[in-house]
């Protein structure tokens, strides 16, 4: 399918920030499961954008402002063609050994409760155990917006059995690593099946390394492996490493952040545009 993404992030500063530096992981790569047809990043103030790659192979743009700024708006838009690969990642160049993704981080460190939860999955083939783990998290950890913040760890979210997709992914990663399976965090977008194209935030899921298959995606928040409805953007050891935008400002005082995200199948979008034009004739 073909997916259109329009993502706007706006920063409002209490007083003009003297300078702003932002690291953007907002640009997807093409691989067998997705082809980036068009992609652009725009801002509404004078900035410099420097493109590079990070250690994980993510496309990174570093943004620098050129003058004092009261409002900064970052707009990302583009289209990606996707196919269903059964959740298996193919055609992606890996910069690091899969063993790197066994490393714990403060956000994914397992406590005694998470360790016990992971080992309760039981024995069997690695792939079967990972699917069982995904199903268990989907069943046992309720999806609730506002129950956690970006700073909550997997252990903290698991304790209260509530969270959002970031928490589901990090709980899965923490448990998979406890089972000796390399796992990593994925940030991206989901074209929803329920017709809700306006979204409050990007989506997140996990990938785990399975011998003879390679990297396989698991989305505990929805209880499925990624399909053609998913657009993969960035990876990391945890949510912090794959964060779409991270940065700092100098001066400016308090800041207010607002995000608008629109993810829609292109065919549906064009049908609506055609109906709008027809209605106006």
Top-confidence residue, 126 or 276: 126
Going by pLDDT thresholds of 50, 70 and 90, the confidence category of residue 274 is very low
Tokens, residue 40 = 């652009």
Top-confidence residue, 122 or 162: 162
- For the chain, the domain total comes to 1
How far apart, in whole angstroms, are the C-alpha atoms of residue 52 and residue 118? 37
**195: exposed, middle or buried (Cβ count in 10 Å: 0-12, 13-18, 19+):** exposed
Report pLDDT for 277: 47
For 5, 208, 227, 248, the CA distances from 56, given in Å and listed in that order, are 23, 15, 23, 22
**225: exposed, middle or buried (Cβ count in 10 Å: 0-12, 13-18, 19+):** buried
Among left, alpha and beta (phi > 0; psi -120 to 50; other), residue 114 is alpha
Going by pLDDT thresholds of 50, 70 and 90, the confidence category of residue 268 is low
Q: What is the mean pLDDT of residues 168-192?
A: 97
Going by pLDDT thresholds of 50, 70 and 90, the confidence category of residue 195 is confident
Which of 13-17, 154-158, 160-164 comes out lowest in average pLDDT? 13-17
**What is the DSSP pairing of strand 203-210 with strand 34-43?**
unpaired
Number of other residues whose CB lies within 10 A of the CB of residue 160: 14
Can you give the pTM of this predicted structure? Answer: 0.91
CATH number, domain at 276?
3.10.620.30
Nearest to 268 by CA among 232, 229, 227, 226: 229
Report pLDDT for 170: 98
278 has a pLDDT exceeding 50: no
Question: What is the domain extent for residue 67?
Answer: 2-280
Nearest to 148 by CA among 107, 190, 198: 107
269 has a pLDDT exceeding 60: no
Going by pLDDT thresholds of 50, 70 and 90, the confidence category of residue 275 is very low
How far apart, in whole angstroms, are the C-alpha atoms of residue 151 and residue 140? 21
Q: What is the DSSP letter of 200?
A: S
Going by pLDDT thresholds of 50, 70 and 90, the confidence category of residue 71 is very high
Q: What is the mean pLDDT of residues 118-132?
A: 95
111 has a pLDDT exceeding 90: yes
Report pLDDT for 92: 87
Q: What is the mean pLDDT of residues 249-266?
A: 90
Report pLDDT for 252: 74
How far apart, in whole angstroms, are the C-alpha atoms of residue 184 and residue 49? 27
Contacts made by residues 45-49, CB under 8 angstroms, sequence distance 24+: 45/69, 45/71, 45/72, 45/73, 47/72
How far apart, in whole angstroms, are the C-alpha atoms of residue 188 and residue 235? 9
254 has a pLDDT exceeding 90: no
């Amino acid at each position: 399918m073909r997916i259109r993404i329009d993502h706007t992030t706006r920063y409002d500063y209490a007083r003009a920030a003297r300078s702003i530096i932002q690291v953007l992981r907002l640009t997807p790569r093409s691989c067998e499961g997705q082809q980036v047809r068009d992609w652009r990043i725009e801002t509404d103030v004078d900035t410099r954008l420097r493109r590079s790659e990070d250690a994980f192979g993510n496309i990174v743009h570093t943004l620098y402002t050129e003058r004092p700024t009261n409002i900064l708006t970052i707009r990302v838009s583009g289209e990606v063609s996707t196919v269903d690969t059964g959740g298996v990642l193919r055609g992606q160049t890996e910069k690091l050994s899969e063993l790197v993704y066994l490393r714990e981080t403060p956000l994914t460190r397992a406590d005694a409760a998470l360790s016990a939860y992971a080992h309760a999955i039981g024995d069997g083939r690695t792939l079967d155990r990972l699917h069982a783990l995904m199903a268990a998290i989907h069943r046992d950890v309720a999806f609730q917006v506002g129950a956690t913040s970006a700073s909550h760890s997997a252990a903290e979210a698991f304790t209260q059995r509530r969270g959002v997709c970031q928490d589901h992914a990090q709980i899965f990663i923490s448990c998979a690593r406890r089972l000796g399976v390399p796992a990593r965090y994925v940030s991206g977008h989901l074209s929803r099946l329920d017709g809700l194209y306006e979204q409050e935030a990007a989506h997140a899921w996990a990938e785990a390394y399975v011998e003879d298959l390679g990297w396989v995606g698991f989305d505990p928040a929805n209880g499925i492996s990624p399909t053609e409805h998913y657009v993969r953007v960035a990876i990391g050891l945890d949510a912090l490493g794959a964060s779409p935008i991270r940065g700092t400002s100098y001066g400016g005082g308090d800041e207010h952040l607002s995000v608008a995200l629109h993810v829609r199948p292109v065919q549906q979008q064009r049908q609506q545009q055609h109906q709008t034009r027809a209605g106006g004739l």
